[in-house]
Structure 1
Amino acid sequence: MAEPQRDIVLVVDDSPDTLNFLTEAIERSGATVLVAVAGDLALALVDEITPDVILLDAMMPGMDGFETCRRLKAKPHVAHVPVIFMTGLTETEHIVKGLGAGGVDYVTKPIAPDEILARIRVHLASARAAQSARAALDTAGRTLFAVDAAGAVAWCTPQAAPTAN
């Protein structure tokens, strides 16, 4: 019997201490950890491997986590991947900025290992349920679509997809 597939967690942080701490805790939970020390490296990495969840530091030199998240969410193959921000920034404005950039959660440092692992499990389960629902609708043979507040198509079944002329 094949070994069950391990969850893939991408950790994006410029702090070696944080990377070591999180890698150890996540690997103990049975997941595979990918590491990027900067936003541009994370963007390149997801073009090679699509993670199941991303832990993203908000404050990094160069491209910050907020911009990194916006760019990750602009990639169609990564748009569904939950992003959990982790940072020392505790002000409401930063939390709102992280969620507005596409994050699903926001954890402040210092990070408790049990808490971050629990949050990863919850967001993985939610993302998988949403993906299953999309897959079921895609195979149902129905013409369905959803639009965002501006009226742009946010999602559609293959039957509702625009055709190229």
Structure 2
Amino acid sequence: MASDSSSTPPTSEDCDAEAHEFLRQLNLDSLCKIASAKRHGVPCTPGGNIIGEHNVVQELAFKDGTVWLARIPRPDACFQLDESTLSYAAVLRYLKKHTDIPVPTVFGYAAASDPGNTLGVGYILMEKLPGRKMPSLDSDEHGDQDYTPPPKHVHWARKVHQQLTDITIDLGQ
């Protein structure tokens, strides 16, 4: 009996291929024109990018050294693209205005369905916050069940947990 391929869930390779194809089709020149217009004409070029599970994050580097991020929901991985984009932008703006939680400043956003959106997909243009990727503390990633993370990694994890506690308290007030 033949299996129905339409009922087979996509593999991670399928999702990666779709994400890379989506990124390849993005009009980065148009994205830079939009960002440049938000900065009163300061020229912009696309930098590196990260393909996440639900979004592509595209770095935008301006001639004066300023760097912004464009958060673009992946159509293959995000339900209700327009609502997701608009909701996320609204939450960031609300948190920035009403809390001390360190969230990026939103400089501009548009839903894919917005008539004036020349990019054709939803996006949020935002400040790039300082920071770095937290190292993994997971023994499975290191292939050793007896793995003990270095003390500085444990210290960083405690610091992040304390910051998350502070954010949770701030949200509760």
Range into which the TM-score falls when normalised by the shorter chain: under 0.3
Q: Normalization by structure 1: what TM-score?
A: 0.28
> So what's the TM-score if we normalise by structure 2?
0.27
Q: Report which of the two structures shows the higher radius of gyration computed on alpha carbons.
A: 2
